[in-house]
Amino acid sequence: MADFAFYSYLIGLITFILVLLLAFARLNKNTLVPHFALAVGTSVAWMALVVFTVSHDTAYISDTFSVETLRNATWFYFLTILISQQIFFNKYTLLKQSKMTVLLFIWMVIVFVAELSSTVLDVITRLLGQDLRLLAHVSFAIIGLMLVEQLYRSVDKEQRWAIKYLCLSLAAIFTFDFIIYSKSLLFGKIDFMLWNSRGLIAALCAPLLAISFSRLQDSQEQVTVSRTIVVHTTVLFGAGLYMILMSLAGYYIKNFGGSWGAIVQTFFIFLAVLLLIILFASGTIRAYIKVYFNKHFFQHQYDYREEWIKLSREIATLHSLEELSQFIIKTLANFVGSSGGGLWSTNDQGIFYLAENWSLGFDSNITFNGNDKFIHFLSEKKWVIDFCEFKNNPDMYDKVDLSPWLTYKNIWLIIPLLQQNKTVAFVVLTKPLVMRQLNYEDHDLLRTVGMQLANALALSKVTDDLSRARQFEAYSRFSAFLVHDIKNLVAQVSMIVKNAETHRRNPEFIDDAIDTLENVVNKMERLLAQLKKGEVKTTTISAVNLVDIISDVVLQQAGQLPKVSIDCNLNECLIYADKARFIAILGHLVQNAQDATPDDGHISIALSCIENFALIDVSDTGYGMDHTFITERLFKPFDTTKGNAGMGIGVYEAREYIIAQGGEITVTSELNVGTTFNIKYPLVKRVSK
pLDDT grade for 648, boundaries at 50, 70 and 90 = low
Lowest mean pLDDT among 68-77, 90-99, 489-498, 560-569: 90-99
Per-residue pLDDT averaged across 302-310, rounded? 66
Nearest Cα neighbor of 130 from 182, 180, 178, 179 is 182
Per-residue pLDDT at 298: 43
pLDDT grade for 615, boundaries at 50, 70 and 90 = very high
Indicate whether 280 pLDDT > 50: yes
pLDDT grade for 426, boundaries at 50, 70 and 90 = very high
Per-residue pLDDT averaged across 52-60, rounded? 78
Higher-pLDDT residue of 329 and 302 is 329
Query: CA dist 676 to 192, 665, 687, Å?
Result: 115, 10, 23
Q: Output the DSSP codes for 145-212.
A: HHHHHHHHHHS-GGGHHHHHHHHHHHHHHHHHHHHHHHHHHHHTS--HHHHHTHHHHHHHHHHHHHHH
Indicate whether 180 pLDDT > 90: no
Mapping DSSP onto H, E and C, the string for 79-115 reads HHHHHHHHHHCCCCHHHHHCHHHHHHHHHHHHHHHHH
By percentage, how much of the chain surpasses pLDDT 90? 5
Residue 449: strand, helix, or coil: helix
Indicate whether 469 pLDDT > 50: yes
H-helix or E-strand containing 429? strand 422-430
Which range of 295-309, 312-326, 504-518, 619-633 scores highest in mean pLDDT? It is: 619-633
Report how many helices (DSSP H) and strands (DSSP E) the chain contains, helices first: 24, 13
Per-residue pLDDT at 228: 38
Query: CA dist 590 to 13, 315, 604, 622, Å?
Result: 117, 53, 9, 12
By percentage, how much of the chain surpasses pLDDT 70? 72
Higher-pLDDT residue of 192 and 302 is 192
Q: 44, 13 in Cβ contact below 8 A?
A: yes
**Contacts for 678 with CB less than 8 Å, ≥ 6 apart:** 615, 616, 617, 665, 666, 667, 668
pLDDT single digits (tens) 253-273: 555 555 555 555 555 555 666
Q: What does DSSP say about strands 564-567 and 603-610: parallel, antiparallel, or unpaired? A: parallel
Per-residue pLDDT at 221: 39
Q: Which amino acid is it at 527?
A: L
Per-residue pLDDT at 278: 61
Per-residue pLDDT at 218: 41
Alpha-carbon distance of 24 to 37, in angstroms, equals: 7
Alpha-carbon distance of 521 to 517, in angstroms, equals: 6
Per-residue pLDDT at 637: 66
Total number of residues shown for the chain: 689
- Cα–Cα–Cα angle for 323, 321, 340, rounded to 5 degrees: 50
Indicate whether 252 pLDDT > 60: no
pLDDT grade for 675, boundaries at 50, 70 and 90 = very high
Higher-pLDDT residue of 598 and 494 is 598
Higher-pLDDT residue of 385 and 508 is 385
- Cα–Cα–Cα angle for 241, 262, 254, rounded to 5 degrees: 55
pLDDT single digits (tens) 321-346: 778 888 888 888 888 888 889 998 88
pLDDT grade for 381, boundaries at 50, 70 and 90 = confident
pLDDT grade for 299, boundaries at 50, 70 and 90 = very low
End-to-end CA distance of the chain: 137
Higher-pLDDT residue of 7 and 427 is 427
User: Residue 472's Cα: distance from chain center in Å?
Assistant: 36
Per-residue pLDDT at 170: 86
Q: Which amino acid is it at 558?
A: A
Per-residue pLDDT at 314: 78
Query: CA dist 215 to 74, 85, 208, 367, Å?
Result: 20, 15, 11, 64
Alpha-carbon distance of 236 to 293, in angstroms, equals: 13
Mean pLDDT of the chain: 76
Per-residue pLDDT at 617: 93
Per-residue pLDDT averaged across 172-178, rounded? 86
Nearest Cα neighbor of 289 from 233, 341, 335 is 233
Q: 101, 80 in Cβ contact below 8 A?
A: yes
Higher-pLDDT residue of 616 and 167 is 616
Lowest mean pLDDT among 36-50, 140-154, 501-515, 579-593: 501-515
Q: What is the DSSP letter of 536?
A: S
Higher-pLDDT residue of 205 and 441 is 205
pLDDT single digits (tens) 209-226: 877 776 665 444 333 334
Q: What is the DSSP letter of 638?
A: T
Lowest mean pLDDT among 39-43, 498-502, 583-587: 498-502
Per-residue pLDDT averaged across 279-307, rounded? 55
Per-residue pLDDT at 272: 63
pLDDT grade for 82, boundaries at 50, 70 and 90 = confident
pLDDT single digits (tens) 558-583: 767 888 899 888 888 888 888 878 88
pLDDT grade for 603, boundaries at 50, 70 and 90 = very high
pLDDT single digits (tens) 347-376: 777 888 888 888 888 877 788 888 888 888
